[in-house]
Homo-oligomer: A and B are copies of this chain.
């Protein structure tokens, strides 16, 4: 039997398409060399289009660093921040803000649910916050929040709105101007389908003005003021950018624009519905409430008697990597990422492995039931 590398269906990193993989391997360019400067510019221009951003910053790092840069550049130590959280990644803004000396108020809710908009409005009406954060899709709970509605509240109460797009960007619409988002902090290894290693920020002019207002901030590499002139003209130098990674991201951006934003978001939506139809057909339920389901991943409750470690080991035997739970959901759920540059074939292979893994662990499944239901949804 041919043994292939397993298919990585975790909520990031996601499978990397051939043109992006090949771009990772280019003989590296000098970072201010003409050809690379053009690639960097093209990449940033494409991203501006995707996000309706006034400015983009893409540098070496990770999603967590982009979140930190979100706070460093908008909130002074001693000022107030409102964190709206639907899981582990929303929660992460709290210790981060505390490390930076920022006062934090937190709005959270039970696993799989959404913080009601009325609660958010109540908070915003009661106190003047320097900024608020919202996680678009929390990778731990699968909850998709309501950036459009929250954006309206942010505008109404004049609070700077930072959206963590990590598990959503390029898979779910994030039109900054239409939604009233001031800043998106995100990364590349989820719906962008590029290997991990980038910190990505989409900024409005308002954020740049706010940064200016702050004077000195408690960071240097994390100070957007050091990077903005480089992003305007990448033949300038501040700190060496991750050349190969940006060449790869540019390939991803080209693929996204070629597919078309509407088509890409619709594809993610259909993939999400197909995965869920498949899981439902074999009695598996998301932990996420129906209204909050994200197109980019599924966070699935284990049936009684199925052990987390044993299940994921079986999945790997069948050539599939899925993720376990984190935080309060550890051991209780598994997570399937279904975003980026994948399509229905990956859904079929994944659901087939889920069926086989469950069967081999003694859970009764009609072979083909999940795949069949997903297929019916996909071709509806």
Which residues in A have some Cβ–Cβ distance to B below 8 Å?
A: 5-6, 8, 10, 12-13, 15-16, 21-22, 24-31, 33, 59-65, 68, 95-96, 98-101, 187, 189, 195-199, 216-223, 237-245, 321, 323, 326
Name the residue in A64, A68, A196 with the highest tally of chain B Cβ atoms < 10 Å from its Cβ: A196
Q: How far is it, in angstroms, between the C-alpha of A24 and the C-alpha of B187 when the chains are bound?
A: 18
Within the oligomer, what is the number of copies of this chain?
2
Q: How far is the CB of A251 from chain B (nearest CB, A)?
A: 12
Select one of B24, B99, B220 contacting A64, CB under 8 A. Answer: B220
Question: Which residue of B28, B33, B189, B241 is within 8 Å of A62 (Cβ)?
Answer: B241
Residues of B within 8 A of A15 (CB): 27-28
When distances are taken between beta carbons in the complex, the residues of chain B under 8 Å from A196 are 28, 31, 60, 240-244
Shortest Cβ distance from A14 into B: residue: B28
A21-B27, A60-B62, A60-B197 given; A243·B13 CB < 8 A: yes
Q: Is the CB of B8 within 8 A of A100?
A: no
In the complex, chain B residues whose CB is within 8 Å of the CB of A195: 28, 242-245
Contacts of A98 in B (CB 8 A): 216
How many whole Å from A63's CB to the nearest CB in chain B?
A: 7
Give every chain B residue within 8 A of A16 (Cβ-Cβ): 27-28
Cα A65 to Cα B64 in complex, Å, equals 14
CB closest chain-B residue, reference A218: B218
Let me know if A21 and B25 touch, CB within 8 A. yes
A240 contact from B95, B96, B189, Cβ within 8 A = B189
- Do the beta carbons of A13 and B29 come within 8 Å of each other? yes
CB pair B218–A99 under 8 Å, yes or no, is yes
**Are A62 and B24 interface neighbours, CB within 8 A?**
no
CA–CA, A245 and B243, complex, Å = 12
Cross-chain contact A8 with B30 (CB below 8 angstroms): yes
Known: A5-B27, A27-B5. A68 touches B10 (CB 8 A): no
Nearest-Cβ distance from residue A280 to partner chain B, whole angstroms: 26
Pairs across A and B, CB under 8 Å, 24 listed:
A8-B29, A13-B29, A13-B31, A15-B28, A16-B28, A24-B25, A60-B62, A60-B242, A61-B61, A62-B242, A64-B221, A64-B239, A68-B219, A96-B220, A99-B216, A99-B219, A99-B223, A100-B219, A196-B240, A196-B242, A197-B245, A218-B218, A219-B219, A245-B245
